[in-house]
A and B are shown apart, each in its own frame.
Chain A
Amino acid sequence: MKNMIRFEHVTKSYPGDFVALQDVDFTIEKGEFVSLVGQSGAGKSTLLKLIYAEEQPTEGRVYFNGRPLDEIKKKHLPFFRRNIGTVFQDFKLLPQKTVFENVAYVLEVYGNTTEEINDQVPKILEIVGLEAQMEKYPKQLSGGEQQRVSLARALIHRPKVIIADEPTGNLDPISTWDIVQLLLKINDFGTPIILATHNKGIVDKISRRVIVLDRGRIVRDHKKGKYAL
């Protein structure tokens, strides 16, 4: 069973006849790096939300590790989400916590001991190159550094997949490339990555699988794709 994520003829529509996704059908294997491209409103974010079960499909089914997501009870959803690490354009860091505390927070929520937290958090911050900034607050960091904190937070619990929704949208070109390099490095260790992006440059440069969405439909799905709409 290599299927990590499977979308089976998924349609998502919202009240008022707005169709965000239409008959979307694809599979992501373990270890893959998939770029999801498309214009604003093409349905990228909706697709990602269906994966971490923030939304439920109107038709069709989404499977995670062979398990249909609609069968997960609402109260078990938090536990399901622990399989997934998420990174967003706006970082979603807690401004009143330090870099260390922001990352440690995940483990606190999961009930890890303080020793485990003090052991693991510096290690992950070292991977993203922020070991020297642990005691700083998010607003003291650059955008690229903040996104690396957010990436460390997404990684700390060793998720089965990383979902990145426009992670470089707010970053300058150098920071953008830093983040992409990090994502590739994480992928090299075997964690599948789904990257939704507008950035033609990085999609072309990394030369991995590209799924192109247009008005809710998959219009192209190439193994070693380029950015094209």
Chain B
Amino acid sequence: MKWLKLTRTFKEGWHNFRRNGWLTFATVTVIVVSLYILSMTAIIGVASYAALTNVQSRVNISMYFNPEVSQQDIFTIKSDLEKYQEVKSIRYVSRDDALKEFLETEGDDPAITQALTEIGENPLLASLVIQAQKPEQYDTIDRALAQASFRDKISRINYGKNKEIIDRLQGVLRMMRAVGLALGLVFTFIAILITFNTIRISMYAHRQEFEVMRLVGASNMYVRMPSVFEGVFYGFFAALVTMIFLGVSAYAVNAFTRGVLQQSSLSFYGHYFFFIFIGVIVIGVTLGVVSSFIAIRRYLERN
């Protein structure tokens, strides 16, 4: 009996969804817009967070040693520094490594390779690349290095140079996150409001059915279920369409994001496809069902 009513109300909901033509189209469109705005806000939020952590992980202090300092000495200094809890990792870059890395990034430029051959020897210095546990600890480490006992062996420390630009970037990203969060909340609210109103209109279109249902003695649950299922369909189909739009958007900005972010937008979309898909469906269906559930209340037996 329960099962019979469930399948009947499910079919009824499906029929309402299909038979309503324009109203269904309008409702799904509105939910698609809502979902699109919501997921774009969320994705931009996630991407800017990823960019921020990416920038933070690139921050480091490079300490270059004078050419005459031996590798042995550098290793001693390295193991001394590793004892500090603020230090997350230290990477040793020998002069040869430095040259290799340099040629990898700049080797295409004939002027540079020519300059290097003219010098005849490796002009680069060996260095220790230090990463801190937290970004705010770099200042402490920088100050400690400037006063260290081995400071006469150091040629230069290139933290100060990057510091300003990193600080600015961090500021911008923090602001982006705050603005994104605020906008996301506002958009979420608007999306819920619009969806709710649209579904209310489509419920209004069914008011005659609700009246008949009441007259023939349908229980509140039986009156409610078809609309709830209808809400499920709105949400589900809106989610499918939203996924297509998100894919198209990812494709459109793909060339732009490549290089700027660690992951291009298309590969991000592909990589997290199921995660995004499930999220969008859950939000879409919830929006549809909750809106239907509330919108139908006025047509039920008033208590």
Interface residues in chain A, defined as those with a beta carbon under 8 Å from any beta carbon in chain B: 52, 74-75, 77-82, 86, 92-94, 96, 105-106, 108-111, 113, 153, 157
Are A109 and B213 neighbours in the complex by a CB distance under 8 Å? yes
Residues of A within 8 A of B168 (CB): none
Residues of B within 8 A of A109 (CB): 213, 216-218, 222
Are A105 and B216 neighbours in the complex by a CB distance under 8 Å? yes
* Total A-B pairs, Cβ < 8 A: 50
Residues of B within 8 A of A80 (CB): 217
A51 to B: closest C-beta gap in Å: 12
Are A94 and B212 neighbours in the complex by a CB distance under 8 Å? yes
Are B215 and A75 neighbours in the complex by a CB distance under 8 Å? no
Are B215 and A81 neighbours in the complex by a CB distance under 8 Å? yes
Residues of B within 8 A of A94 (CB): 208-209, 212
Q: Which 8 A-B pairs have the closest CB atoms?
A: A81-B217, A82-B217, A109-B218, A78-B217, A106-B216, A78-B219, A111-B1, A74-B303
Are A79 and B4 neighbours in the complex by a CB distance under 8 Å? no
Residues of B within 8 A of A74 (CB): 301-303
**In-complex Cβ contact of B4 among A92, A111, A153 (8 A):** A111
Residues of B within 8 A of A75 (CB): 219-220, 301
Secondary structure dominating the interface of B: helix
* Bound complex: CA A153 to CA B217 (Å): 12
**In-complex Cβ contact of B19 among A81, A96, A110 (8 A):** A96
Judged by a CB distance under 8 angstroms, whether B211 is at the interface is yes
Are B208 and A92 neighbours in the complex by a CB distance under 8 Å? yes
Binary flags per residue of B201-236, CB closer than 8 Å to A gives 1, else 0: 000000011011111111110100000000000000
- CB closest chain-A residue, reference B216: A106
Binary flags per residue of B5-37, CB closer than 8 Å to A gives 1, else 0: 100100000010001000000000000000000
* Bound complex: CA A81 to CA B223 (Å): 14
* Bound complex: CA A86 to CA B301 (Å): 17
* Bound complex: CA A109 to CA B218 (Å): 6
- CB closest chain-B residue, reference A80: B217
Are A81 and B212 neighbours in the complex by a CB distance under 8 Å? no
Other A-B contacts than A80-B217, A81-B214, A92-B215, 16 sampled, CB-CB below 8 A, are A74-B302, A75-B219, A78-B214, A78-B217, A78-B219, A79-B217, A79-B219, A81-B216, A82-B216, A82-B217, A92-B211, A96-B15, A96-B19, A105-B216, A106-B216, A153-B216
Secondary structure dominating the interface of A: helix
- CB closest chain-B residue, reference A101: B15
B263 to A: closest C-beta gap in Å: 49
B207 to A: closest C-beta gap in Å: 11
A12 to B: closest C-beta gap in Å: 17
Known: A92-B212, A94-B208. A78 touches B220 (CB 8 A): yes
Interchain Cβ contacts under 8 Å between A and B, 23 examples? A74-B302, A74-B303, A75-B301, A78-B214, A78-B217, A78-B219, A79-B217, A79-B219, A80-B217, A81-B214, A92-B215, A93-B212, A94-B209, A96-B19, A105-B212, A105-B216, A109-B218, A109-B222, A111-B1, A111-B4, A113-B4, A153-B216, A157-B216
* Bound complex: CA A92 to CA B213 (Å): 10
* Bound complex: CA A173 to CA B301 (Å): 37
B41 to A: closest C-beta gap in Å: 38
* Bound complex: CA A94 to CA B208 (Å): 7
Are B8 and A108 neighbours in the complex by a CB distance under 8 Å? yes
Are B1 and A78 neighbours in the complex by a CB distance under 8 Å? no
Residues of A within 8 A of B208 (CB): 92, 94
* Bound complex: CA A122 to CA B86 (Å): 85
* Bound complex: CA A153 to CA B302 (Å): 25
B182 to A: closest C-beta gap in Å: 44
Are A111 and B5 neighbours in the complex by a CB distance under 8 Å? yes
